């Protein structure tokens, strides 16, 4: 039986992020920015994750193997934004994202975090189904007119 668990990110996880942040297929689904990220930028972004005192970053583990990353990032008015990436593509479409989101929501409850939202590409039907299965509801389209790679996202909010 495959076991999904979450653990806090640690410095040794940097190699996973280096791989995932340089994967064009992953980038296309997430930021949409296909310009390759430099090692210096990876260092900066990863340090920000490790050093954050307001956000909760977790590695998604499948039987102790890191397959992805999930976060609760503090935003304004008591809201937290969640983002998830299953970086190891051979694990896509197997239900691990749903399990990871549900584990994250249990952690959020223990932390008394009740206002959670996410933004997803309107065309990413697989992810939208995962979020709906976890209790998120479509809340509207958010437009980013200055972002040529991702001009709009679907905002989904957790109803608790």
Domain count, the chain: 1
Cα distances from 20 to residues 8, 68, 87, 88, 151, in angstroms, run 18, 9, 6, 8, 23
Look at 46 and 22; give whichever has higher pLDDT.
46
Summarised one tens digit per residue, pLDDT across range 117-155 is 999 988 888 889 889 989 999 999 988 888 777 778 899
The CA distances from residue 4 to 26, 66, 81, 88, 149, in Å, are 21, 10, 21, 14, 32
- Residue-level pLDDT at 93: 85
The enclosing domain of 126 has a CATH number of 3.40.630.30
User: What confidence score (pLDDT) does residue 43 get?
Assistant: 86
12 has pLDDT over 80: yes
Domain hosting residue 149, numbered range: 4-158
pLDDT the model gives residue 27: 65
Q: What is the pTM of this model?
A: 0.86
């Amino acid at each position: 039986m495959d076991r999904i668990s979450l653990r806090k990110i640690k410095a040794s996880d940097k190699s996973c992020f280096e791989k995932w942040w340089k994967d064009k297929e992953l980038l296309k689904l997430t930021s949409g920015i296909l310009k390759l990220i430099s090692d210096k930028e990876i260092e900066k972004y990863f340090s920000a994750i490790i050093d954050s005192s307001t956000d909760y970053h977790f590695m998604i583990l499948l039987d102790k193997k890191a397959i992805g990353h999930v976060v609760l990032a503090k935003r304004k008015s008591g809201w937290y934004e969640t983002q998830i990436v299953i970086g190891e593509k051979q694990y896509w479409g197997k239900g691990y994202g749903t399990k990871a989101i549900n584990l994250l929501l249990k952690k959020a409850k223990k932390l008394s975090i009740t206002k959670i939202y996410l933004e997803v590409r309107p065309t990413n039907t697989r992810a939208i189904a995962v979020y709906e299965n976890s209790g998120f509801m479509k809340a509207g389209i958010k437009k980013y007119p200055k972002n040529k790679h991702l001009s709009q996202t679907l905002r989904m909010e957790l109803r608790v």
